[in-house]
């Protein structure tokens, strides 16, 4: 479910220094109690105790007038030339701390391999057309009136251990995610409040209802993934330990065998030859490699060296220094055609890179100062000089949502005069001996600018140097990823440089980041004025501690609305209000992804798809083993091929 992602901040290149990679847990065997617990009865009781949520009906109860659809008219994904087979060599920064997909430590960089990018949902958004194509479903129907989506599962759908996937697994999913055993409050909340009912009609047919009808209400249900009830029979108080290293049966094409887990070093995925969706229209040309060997390499420079040696097959070249300097077009391996370089321009919601100002802090509560900071932040210089003009300026905090993104609003661009004027309005009109503005009380205009991204710290120093010209001092603080995230979650930051990863959705979310419920316990009095006794609340994503009565109202209307036009109007109004409030300085976005890959990693003609996040996300590439042999021997003999540096800009703005 893509929703999970919204809770993670992008932790680009976090090195977990304290993690001891070499310590082997005492035993890999599942904790063997004398008796294996069985929760079947407990689950039945739970269903019975919530009859309004878990219902059982017969096929005759399905409304006959439904408009069933299955998206099969959408184009196939992947290339007909794709060959199955071969081993893909890749890398991960840290060894996964668990094989669980939920609960403590599960939300790491490894999970996409076993869940987010590989396992099947009821339906998936087509990466070009944005509409849904079937995953586990045979067909589905949306009933706006009753806010319900009906689903018929594919009768062949089965888990990797051969057990069929049925409606029971979906009912179980709700029990599982609502249960306290999984130690994941966010899931408890989401599955407890965002759905109102699941009804089983037969083994293959069920329906799920949601509280509000939305223009994209199908997304909320179709992007659900069932949980294998037969495997989670032992879920109880000790879930976290009991399932720590057990690989769950999956709907994904890749499985992990026990012998392929080398703790701390290497983990290998194996393609399930009997995967039920092998020949399905949207799945047949994807997930081509037989095995994927993921080894742990912590340092990015080392990963690059491994790539250059051919030990790993692909390397992300998003950073300018890699694209232009470390692997330039005249690099020996590129010039000889052994390594190909590709740029693919995509279109999708953009992660919100920018400066998040904590408006509950002294000085930052003053709008004039925030406006001044916006003007004193030279993102264009960062884009031009650090990213070499490849990236683009982010204009609002919700860029990339197509028609839901404000069409005309522009972020404030760097201007020393405007910044000075704005600071002067807030009383900072004099420069001190070091050129930083001071007010009449002698207070300096200085803020801590923190970030959890060690590898982007240079951006902060550039911003600092530029801001000083406008008399503003940034005290740069670079933390490690976890500490940085903890700091903003506790709302202890002044200004934080960060971004929320966003998923492919129809329209942006506002509640998480801009609703006062996520800033203060009781933000406003009855009449809409500020409650003087309100207290900050922590552990939410409202990093600006933004609380505007008007905004709250609009968010409520936005969330309750089922009209696309009304929602668009509200989204624009909220974006404008947010811009006016000036508590966010929009940074940059990367309108493409770039990959370097050895010649034997083959991609489809169009390389990737309009809404793809990265080259590997859709698994449309394949490993050509003959070509690998040919390339390696050619490299030995000094033979070369046509160099390939390709630019796929068919989806560029």
Q: Which residues bind another protein (CB under 8 A)?
A: 17-18, 299-301, 320-321, 324-326, 384-386, 388-389, 416, 420, 431, 433-435, 448, 450, 454, 457-458, 460-462, 464-465, 468-471, 475-480, 483, 487, 492-494
* Complex with another protein: residue 18 or 59, whichever CB lies closer: 18
Phi, psi of 33 (to 5 degrees): -80, 165
Q: How near is the Cβ of 353 to another protein at its closest, in Å? A: 17
Q: How near is the Cβ of 591 to another protein at its closest, in Å? A: 18
Instruction: Report the alpha-carbon distance of residue 149 to residue 201 in Å, rounded.
Output: 13
Distances (CA, A) of 625 to 84, 88, 290, 342, 636: 10, 10, 11, 21, 17
Kindly state the DSSP code that residue 322 receives in the 8-state scheme.
Answer: I
Q: How near is the Cβ of 558 to another protein at its closest, in Å? A: 34
Instruction: Report the alpha-carbon distance of residue 364 to residue 370 in Å, rounded.
Output: 6
Kindly state the DSSP code that residue 41 receives in the 8-state scheme.
Answer: H
Q: How near is the Cβ of 451 to another protein at its closest, in Å? A: 10
* Complex with another protein: residue 325 or 403, whichever CB lies closer: 325
Distances (CA, A) of 389 to 8, 293, 499: 28, 35, 20
Instruction: Report the alpha-carbon distance of residue 345 to residue 646 in Å, rounded.
Output: 11
Q: How near is the Cβ of 339 to another protein at its closest, in Å? A: 14
Tokens of 627: 């070509």
* Complex with another protein: residue 368 or 454, whichever CB lies closer: 454
Contact 278, 266 (CB under 8 A): no
Around Cβ 259, how many Cβ atoms within 10 Å?
A: 7
3-state secondary structure of 188: helix
Instruction: Report the alpha-carbon distance of residue 451 to residue 543 in Å, rounded.
Output: 13
Q: How near is the Cβ of 462 to another protein at its closest, in Å? A: 6
Q: How near is the Cβ of 482 to another protein at its closest, in Å? A: 9
* Complex with another protein: residue 247 or 386, whichever CB lies closer: 386
* Complex with another protein: residue 121 or 450, whichever CB lies closer: 450
- Please report which residue ranges of 251-378 form alpha helices under DSSP H: 300-309, 320, 332-335, 367-376
Contact 239, 94 (CB under 8 A): no
* Complex with another protein: residue 144 or 385, whichever CB lies closer: 385
Q: How near is the Cβ of 601 to another protein at its closest, in Å? A: 22
Phi, psi of 520 (to 5 degrees): -130, 155
Instruction: Report the alpha-carbon distance of residue 288 to residue 274 in Å, rounded.
Output: 13
Q: How near is the Cβ of 328 to another protein at its closest, in Å? A: 9
Q: How near is the Cβ of 382 to another protein at its closest, in Å? A: 9
Q: How near is the Cβ of 468 to another protein at its closest, in Å? A: 7
Contact 618, 612 (CB under 8 A): yes
Backbone conformation region of residue 162, classed left if phi is above 0, alpha if psi is from -120 to 50, else beta:
left
User: Measured at the alpha carbon of residue 79, what is the angle toward residues 75 and 80, in degrees to the nearest 5?
Assistant: 95
* Complex with another protein: residue 465 or 550, whichever CB lies closer: 465
* Complex with another protein: residue 233 or 326, whichever CB lies closer: 326
* Complex with another protein: residue 17 or 73, whichever CB lies closer: 17
* Complex with another protein: residue 219 or 339, whichever CB lies closer: 339
Around Cβ 180, how many Cβ atoms within 10 Å?
A: 10
3-state SS of 85-124 is CCEEEEEECCCCCCCCCCCCCCCCCCHHHHCCCCCCCCEE
* Complex with another protein: residue 460 or 612, whichever CB lies closer: 460
* Complex with another protein: residue 19 or 31, whichever CB lies closer: 19
Around Cβ 318, how many Cβ atoms within 10 Å?
A: 17
Q: How near is the Cβ of 434 to another protein at its closest, in Å? A: 6
Contact 177, 187 (CB under 8 A): yes
């Amino acid at each position: 479910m893509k929703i999970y992602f919204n809770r993670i901040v992008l932790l680009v290149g976090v090195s977990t220094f304290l993690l001891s990679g070499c310590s082997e847990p005492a035993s890999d065997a599942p904790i063997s109690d004398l008796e294996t617990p069985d929760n079947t009865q407990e689950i039945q009781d739970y269903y019975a105790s919530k009859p309004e949520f878990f219902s059982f009906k017969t096929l005759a109860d399905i409304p006959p007038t439904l408009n069933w659809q299955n998206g099969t008219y959408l184009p196939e994904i992947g290339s007909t030339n794709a060959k199955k087979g071969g081993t893909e060599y890749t890398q991960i920064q840290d060894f996964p701390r668990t094989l669980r997909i939920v609960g403590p430590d599960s939300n790491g960089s490894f999970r996409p391999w076993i869940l987010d990018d590989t396992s099947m949902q009821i339906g998936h958004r087509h990466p070009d057309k944005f509409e849904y194509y079937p995953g586990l479903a045979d067909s589905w129907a949306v009933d706006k009136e009753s806010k319900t989506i009906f689903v018929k599962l594919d009768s062949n759908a089965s888990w990797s251990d051969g057990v069929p996937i049925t409606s029971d697994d979906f009912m179980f999913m709700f029990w599982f995610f609502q249960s306290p055993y999984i130690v994941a409050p966010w899931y408890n909340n989401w599955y407890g409040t965002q759905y109102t009912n699941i009804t089983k009609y037969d083994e293959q047919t069920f329906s799920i209802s949601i509280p509000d009808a939305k223009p994209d209400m199908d997304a909320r249900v179709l992007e659900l993934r069932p949980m294998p009830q037969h495997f989670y029979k032992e879920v109880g108080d000790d879930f976290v330990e009991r399932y720590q290293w057990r690989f769950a049966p999956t709907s994904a094409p890749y499985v992990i065998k026990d012998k392929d887990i080398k703790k701390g070093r290497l983990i290998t995925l194996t393609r399930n030859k009997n995967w039920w969706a092998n020949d399905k229209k949207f799945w047949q040309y994807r997930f081509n490699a037989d095995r994927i060997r993921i080894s742990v390499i912590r340092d990015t420079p080392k990963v690059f060296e491994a790539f250059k040696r051919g030990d790993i097959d692909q390397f992300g070249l998003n950073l300018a220094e890699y694209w232009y300097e470390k692997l330039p077009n005249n690099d020996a391996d590129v010039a000889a055609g052994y390594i190909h370089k590709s740029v693919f321009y995509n279109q999708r919601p953009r992660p919100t890179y920018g400066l998040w100002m904590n408006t509950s802090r002294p000085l930052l509560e003053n709008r004039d100062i925030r406006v001044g900071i916006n003007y004193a932040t030279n993102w264009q210089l960062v884009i031009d000089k650090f990213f070499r003009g490849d990236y683009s300026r982010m204009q609002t905090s919700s860029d990339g949502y197509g028609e839901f993104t404000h069409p005309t609003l522009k972020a404030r661009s760097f201007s020393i005069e405007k910044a000075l004027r704005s600071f002067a309005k807030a009383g900072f009109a004099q420069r001190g001996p070091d050129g930083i503005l001071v007010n009449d009380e002698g207070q300096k205009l200085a803020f801590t600018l923190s970030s959890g991204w060690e590898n982007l710290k240079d951006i902060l120093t550039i911003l600092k140097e530029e801001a000083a010209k406008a008399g503003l001092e940034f005290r740069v603080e670079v933390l490690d990823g976890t500490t940085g995230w903890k700091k903003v979650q506790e709302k202890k930051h002044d200004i934080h440089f960060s971004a929320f990863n966003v998923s492919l959705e129809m329209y942006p979310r506002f509640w998480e980041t801009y609703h006062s419920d996520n800033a203060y316990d009781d933000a406003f009095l009855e009449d809409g004025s500020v409650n003087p006794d309100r207290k900050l609340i922590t552990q939410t994503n409202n990093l600006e501690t933004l609380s505007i009565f008007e905004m709250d109202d609009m968010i409520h209307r936005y969330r309750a609305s089922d009209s696309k036009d009304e929602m668009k109007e509200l989204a624009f109004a909220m974006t404008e209000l947010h811009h006016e409030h000036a508590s966010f300085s929009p940074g940059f976005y990367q309108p493409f992804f770039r990959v370097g890959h050895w010649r034997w990693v083959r991609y489809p003609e169009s390389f990737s798809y309009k809404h793809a996040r990265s080259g590997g996300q859709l698994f449309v590439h394949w490993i050509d083993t003959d070509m690998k042999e040919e390339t390696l021997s050619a490299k030995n003999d000094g033979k070369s091929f046509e160099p390939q540096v390709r630019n796929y800009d068919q989806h560029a703005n």
